[in-house]
Amino acid sequence: LFAGEPSTQMTLKTFHFAGVASMNITQACRKNCISSQLFLQGVPRIKEIINGVKLISTPIITAALANEKDEKLARRVKARIEKTTLKEICDYIEEIYLPDDCFILLKINAKRVRLLQLEVTITSIAQCICNWKLPVPVKPQQIRLLGKTIMAIRPPEVAKCSKMMAIQYLKYNIGNVVIKGLPGVVRCVIHADEKKGDSYKLLVEGTDFQAVMATVGIDGRRTYFNNALTVAEVRPVQYFSFVF
C-alpha cells in the first residue's frame, strides 16, 4: 500500500476575507491559511485506522453545502459552524467605576459582525453570556442593553468576593464567551473544487460531526468524517457501507 504520491499531490483551494489562496499541504504553513498538519498522512494515519483510535490527531469533517455553487451561502454557513468568541467582535471591554455604581461596559463592532456574516444580535449575545459558565455567573437582570451595540453588565452580589473582584473576574473571562458557532469546532475553511466548476464545500477541523450535519445550509447526506468510530455511532449505515 503506497499512499505517499496521492497525498503529496493533494491541493486545497481556500477562500478567506483577504482573497483567494491556493496551496498544497506541505506549503500550507507558509501561506498562513491552513496548518501543514491539517491532514495526518502516511503510516501514522494508517495506524489510527487499523487500531480504531477514538481521538484521532487530525479530525476533519468534509461538509457538503445545500447549494454547492453559492459562495455567499458557503460564507454564511462557515460563520454558523466556526467558533466565534465575544472578544473577536468587541471594540472594547472596560471597567466603569462611579461613586454609587460599578459595571463592565462593552461595545460590539457592528462592522465586523457584518464582515464575518454572523447571525447575532445584542440580545442573542446577552443570552450567550448568561448561558456561559463564567467564574462569576451572570443573570439576565444584571445586563442592561444600551442601544444595538453597547451593553452594561453589573457584578452579582457574591458572598465569596467583593464587587471589585467580581468585575475583575468578569473582565478577564467574558471575552472567551462563544457567541456563535460550535464549541467542538477548532476552525472551518471553504474549499473550492475547480474540477466541478466553482463548487464549494467546507472543511471543518473538529469532532462535533452530528452538530455539523444538523447545521442549516449543510447537506447531511453528503457530509463525511475521517473518524470511523464516530461515524459508526452517528451514521452506522454509512460506516458499514464503507467497511463492506
Residues in the chain: 244
Banded pLDDT at 33 (limits 50, 70, 90) = very low
Average pLDDT over residues 27-49: 53
Residues 108 and 220 in one domain: no
Q: Which of 152, 180, 208 is the C-terminal boundary of a domain?
A: 180
Average pLDDT over residues 34-50: 61
Average pLDDT over residues 214-228: 89
The 8 Å CB, 24+ separation contacts for 48-53 are 49/228, 52/228, 52/229, 53/229
Task: Please give the tally of structural domains in the chain.
Answer: 2
Residues 159 and 94 in one domain: yes
Q: Which amino acid is located at 158 in the chain?
A: V
Residues 23 and 99 in one domain: no
Residues 78 and 187 in one domain: yes
Residues 176 and 201 in one domain: no
Average pLDDT over residues 26-52: 55
Residues 71 and 93 in one domain: no
* pLDDT tens figures, 99-139: 888 999 999 999 999 999 999 999 999 999 999 999 888 99
Provide the CATH number for the domain around residue 126: 3.30.1360
Q: Which domain holds residue 168?
A: 85-180
Mean per-residue pLDDT over the chain, rounded: 79
* pLDDT tens figures, 166-191: 898 899 999 999 999 998 898 899 99
Q: What is the pLDDT of residue 238?
A: 56
